[in-house]
Structure 1
């Protein structure tokens, strides 16, 4: 079966009963409260999907597995592009500032991280010091000059903006691809490895 869920998708339907017996109390409380889990970039067994649970604190992140059959709802980062955050925060201002440029860039894009979680769930996850995490779907190569130009646009935003380029073989940080290093770190479900071209199969 082909997994139709991608890293950064948010899923609803996880229950405390699906958690390992040694799961921390905060994880159980988060799931019991009905919050979504986020799809992780990791291998999983058939019928299950690798997910992560978020807690209130930055260091509260818990990796586990979820039954595919339990999934009740899925929200992708692209679904959140035009959802507004009605809070006076730098990340919200940055998203409003960048939205027209990203809409016109010719690539699919989405919101992930704390901003994506808040937009999808309505639960407050952002604070005044939060970065804005974005993804850019790049099924075709994005040349390094274009990457550098994109970084310049992101750097003019109201807060630190981190963007991942989602290639057919995994994800690479935009800032790394725009930088001087010949090889960049490509993260896939199987491994993280240094490659010359993230759009070529990582052998």
Structure 2
């Protein structure tokens, strides 16, 4: 199948019937209400995609699998960069502050986490203490100095801002890449492993 969903994409169309028989009541209620699910990094059988169901409480997260042919709508994090919200929360203030700089860099970036979920679906997920989670499509290496400049910029906002660098071989936390550690944690559908260069495919087999 061409154009498979990517990690952090939001998908609509999953029904309670696709959950396992022992799924918690909150997960059944979330899907019955029409909430989207978020694509997660995990292996899945052909014709399915690994997803997470989100509940109202922070601890209410359920790993599940969704049939690809039941996807009714898909929204990527980068489609949410310029979606506005009337709620005047710190995360939205931070997003408005960072948006021009990220746009000027001509990077492909996006909004994930609770902010992305609410902006895409309208279901309330943000609160006053929420973090702003961002992703950056990084097909080529982002230098450590550039990563440190981004972290310094993020630390000037009114809430914590975290960014995942999406390399062709998995995701790495911007803050971890910026702090100068000799090895960083790279996560993909197959594994999470420590590497020195997240853009080098040969390291994953090491």
Task: Compute the TM-score of the two structures, normalised by the length of structure 1.
Answer: 0.98
2:10 equivalent in structure 1: 10
Tell me by how many angstroms 1:180 deviates: 2.2
Cα distance between partner residues in 2 of 1:46 and 1:110: 27
Alpha-carbon RMSD = 0.8
Determine if contact 2:144/2:180 at 8 Å carries over to the other structure.
no
Q: How many residues align?
A: 203
Q: CA shift at 1:88, angstroms?
A: 1.4
Deviations 1:3-59 (A, max 9, x none): 611000000000111110000000000000000000001100000000000000000
The residue number in structure 2 matching 1:92 is: 92
Measured at CA, do residues 42 and 2 of structure 1 come closer, stay the same or move farther in structure 2, by a change above 3 Å? Answer: farther
Give yes or no for the alignment of 1:140 onto 2:140.
yes
- What residue ranges of structure 1 are gaps of 5+ in the alignment? none
CA distance in structure 2 between the partners assigned to 1:134 and 1:66 by the alignment: 24
Shift of 1:85: 1.7
List per-residue Cα deviations over 1:168-194 (Å, max 9, x = no partner): 000000000001211000000000000
Q: Residue deviations 1:141-179, cap 9 Å, x none? A: 001000001111111111100100000000000000001
Equivalent position of 1:26 in the other structure: 26
Structure 1 counterpart of 2:109: 109
- What corresponds to 2:41 in structure 1? 41
Aligned residue in 2 for 1:155: 155
Runs of 4+ in 1 over 3 A off after TM superposition: none
C-alpha distance in structure 2 between counterparts of 1:41 and 1:13, whole Å? 19
Alignment correspondent of 2:191: 191
Q: Secondary structure at the match of 1:4?
A: coil
The match for 1:70 is 70
TM-superposed CA distance for 1:106, in Å, is 2.6
**Distance (Å, rounded) in 1 between the aligned partners of 2:4 and 2:107:** 20
Q: How many Å separate the matches in 2 of 1:21 and 1:188?
A: 28
> What is the alpha-carbon distance in structure 2 between the residues aligned to residue 3 and residue 81 of structure 1?
21
Give the TM-score taking structure 2 as reference length: 0.97
User: SS of 1:135's equivalent?
Assistant: strand
Quote how far apart the aligned CAs of 1:2 are: 5.3
